[in-house]
Structure formats: C-alpha cells, structure tokens
Structure 1
C-alpha cells in the first residue's frame, strides 16, 4: 500500500549513504546537485538542500506558524530537492509514533516537514541551505500545490500537530547558507568549480 510517506521507505536496494530526494517537477543543474552533495559529505547528519521554509511563534494565535517567505533565516529544507542520510528513512518508517504517520497519511501532506522534525529532533541542529540559481526552477507543466491555500493551511496545522506530539518544538532556526568558494571573487572563471551557478545569478 503506497502512501505519501513511501518516498522515505528504507528500500534494501538503496546502498549509498546519501539519498537525493527530488520531486518530479524540480529542475536542478548538475552543478547544483554536485555542490549540494559536496556540502552533505561535510555534514552527513543534516538535511542539505535548496528550497527552505521557516516557522515562528504567532503570539496573536498562540500557536506555531509556517512561512514560505524568503527571509534571512530558515528551519526547514524541503525534501523536494535535498540530500540526507539513508538512516533517516529507517527512523522515519520504524521509529516515529503511529500518530505522526497517521497525520501525514490522512492529510496527504507534510511528510517533508515531518522528516525535518525527525532530523532536528535527533541532531538538535538545523538543516543546511545551499546556494542556488536566482529562481528555483519547477516544471510548470505539473499543477503546483504551493499555490493552493488549503495546502498551505494544512501545513500550518501539521507544524502544530507535530510539535504537540513531540511535546516540544524540535525545529532549529539558522541563518547559514553555504555558497561555492570564490563564487563572488573577481578571479578568472577558469578557477571556479561552479561557474554556472554564478553566471546564472545567485540570490
């Protein structure tokens, strides 16, 4: 039986420590994939990837809120384009409480947020956002859920439900973003390993 959480099933055919999780509507260049993998090799206990989101405490509602606005901080790296260690697939499938799985399966949403909760709970560390081209590219031939208000509201609910089940908020905020070395330095492009990332414009 396939569920939305099946993407994190610890399939025995997966032999590499690193897993690159990609949604079908995401376009990454080979340089973006290569650079993210190099970063992950230095931080294999973290989620390393591109699209980032954040959470914050809303005093007016006395609850946690989830935001997709571009800011200087984040606490979630979406698994639509991210590297992480395969061990987290095992923890996600066999370690998490049934109520957490039930929340994801019933909503058909939030599996990426739950994975971030899990990794931050284990490591007590935030994920790592890496540099990307000026505009994250998605395949517009597929209908996007990110523009659906109900989808966003559901993710707000998930953040609060997950924190209640965990008994605290495990997500950790970060301001760190890792960029290729020399990407802004006025040196010959021949010396730069990730030339296209700079040429296409880094936000």
Structure 2
C-alpha cells in the first residue's frame, strides 16, 4: 500500500496480480473469525444502546406519572404540603404525649418510660381520674425514669392532670402552658415505636388541622327507615378488608391542641352527657368534631403498635352495639354527616422494600 493509504494505492494478493485499491472491496472481503466476532459485538452494543434508551424513556414516563399523582394526593386528602406553621414556631420542635390511664400503674410506668425515650417528646401529661391523687412514690419513680431514659439534654416535663371524677371527657380537657401545638393522645396500654411516632409527627406537620393516627375505623351505611339513614360502626377487620376508613381513634393519634378547647367548650353538652352516661365513645366524638372543622378525612399512618394491656372497654360485652348507637346519636346532632371516607394511607418509604 502506498504511503498514506491514498485511493491511488494498490493491493498485492501474492500471485503477482496488482489490483487497484477499492474501499468497497476491502469491506466486502472475508476478514476471518476475529472480524466476525467484532461485527457481532458491534451489533450487540447497538441493540444495548437502543434498549437503554427505551428503558430511560419508560423510567422518565413512570416518574412523570408519580409526580402527577403526588400533586393530586394533597388536594384529595386536604393536606397542606406547605406547612401553615412557621419554621421558627416551637410547635415544629416536638410534641406533648397525653396518656390516659386508670388504675394501671404498671402499664403507666412502661408507657412513660417508652415515650420519654423518643427524641421529639417535649412533655408528658398523665390524665388522672382516680379518687385518690397519685402517690408521691409513683411521681418520683416516673421522674427518675424520664431522667434515665430520655436521650435529650432537655428532659420531658412530667405533669399529672388531676380530675375529681372518673369521666372519659377528662382526656380532652384544655391544658394551660403548652409549648407545642402537637398532641399525641395515647392509651396507657399502647406503645408506638419512636421511629414510627416521629414519622407520624412529620405527616401531622404537613396538615396540623387533621387527625393523624394508627387506629382507623369506618362508618358504613346500614339502612334507611322513614327517611332516616342509619350507619354501622366498622371495626378494624372491615377497614382491613376494604382499605377504607373515615376515623382514626384518639387512643393513638396526633391532633392540634386547639381541639381540646373546642371539645370542652364548643361541642354540644349533650355529647358530653352521653359520653359520661355511657362511659364510651369520646374518641368517636373527637373524630366527628375534627371532621366537622376540616371537612376532610383523617390520615392513617402505617406502623406497628404494641398492646401491653390485657383488657379494656373494647373487650366488654356489647361494645360494638354501643358504638353503633353512639355513632348514630352523634351524627343526628349534625345537619350532615361530617365524616369523610378515604383509601389513602401514609407509609414511610424508608421502611418498605418495594414502594
């Protein structure tokens, strides 16, 4: 071949014949096994690049759909993804744990010890409705356990909210001197892991007017008699089966402290009297109150909660019948059913393998 490999160069095939150089003939000439593998490799690389482009386009399409869905979840749920509380508000720093207890000091000790260990717990209030005040030995024990279990330099403040009578309305009495708007209401026999509790708190911060909790329930249309619609109280299994709920119970839920005042001073006294007489349904009354204010559903947060008690009001005979009755009696006091049902659940994606 002539220097530089110009088109005027010649090819010598070894038999003395000299032919003019032809790029087309060079490409068409057999190149052996090595050349065949190279061609195959180039073909595979080309197809791989095409597949990568297709997958990239599909991923972009899926991402776009997720973004569009996320933009719609807020309006459907009544969420405000731009928190209404200012970044400097102390309400964004933590929450107060409001524990309802009655003659179960062993469970109360476990509950206080657990929630004192949660980093965002700013204060712990115990709703005490027994005839005798809490013994000093119990107070001392709980204060010591808070000092030892809390992982913060600022230790949660412990306070007993004393009541003269045993009444379930006591758990929603207003509390003076709160430094945070967020209240986590919980029974003394329920423990929510700290990481799960903090996730629920972040959900509540996006929509501080809404109840955010772990125990969902539903009101189902039952029947209609003489123009009056009756509803049936749906327990956990109906929620599990359908994925639909309209309430989260205050036995494990976040809500704004303003609802304590509204429950005590704004809600009809007939509901207070009903709860006092029946010794039941204060949680349904609170759900109706919040729904009536927000005109939106609550938010059910997925998370494991641990029951450490062996009995309670829900274990008594006839419990579901009483719940049905009070649900319909309470609804009759409103001009329309304030409860809003939903199928949406808040899930911490960091705890999910697939989402």
Query: Shorter-chain TM-score category?
Result: 0.7 to 0.9
- What residue in structure 2 maps to residue 117 of structure 1? 288
- d(CA) in 2 for partners of 1:13, 1:38: 23
> What does the per-residue CA deviation read over 1:83-118, in whole Å, with 9 as the maximum and x for residues that have no partner?
000001110000011111111111111001000000
Aligned with 1:64 (options 213, 220, 231): 231
Greater helix percent: which structure? 2
Q: TM-score, with normalisation over the residues of structure 2?
A: 0.49
Q: Secondary structure at the match of 2:284?
A: helix
> What does the per-residue CA deviation read over 1:139-173, in whole Å, with 9 as the maximum and x for residues that have no partner?
134x1332323222111111000011113211110
Aligned with 2:201 (options 37, 44, 47): 37
* 5+ long unaligned stretches in structure 2: 1-163
- What residue in structure 2 maps to residue 46 of structure 1? 210
RMSD: 1.8
- What residue in structure 2 maps to residue 22 of structure 1? 186
> What does the per-residue CA deviation read over 1:34-76, in whole Å, with 9 as the maximum and x for residues that have no partner?
1110110011010001011101111277511001122311011
- What residue in structure 2 maps to residue 137 of structure 1? 306
Aligned with 1:94 (options 224, 244, 265): 265
* CA pair 149-169 structure 1, distance change in 2 beyond 3 A: farther
Q: Secondary structure at the match of 2:198?
A: helix
Is 1:162 equivalent to 2:330 in the alignment?
A: yes
Q: TM-score, with normalisation over the residues of structure 1?
A: 0.85
How many positions carry a matched residue from both structures?
184
Runs of 4+ in 1 over 6 A off after TM superposition: none
Is 1:106 equivalent to 2:274 in the alignment?
A: no
Larger Rg: 2
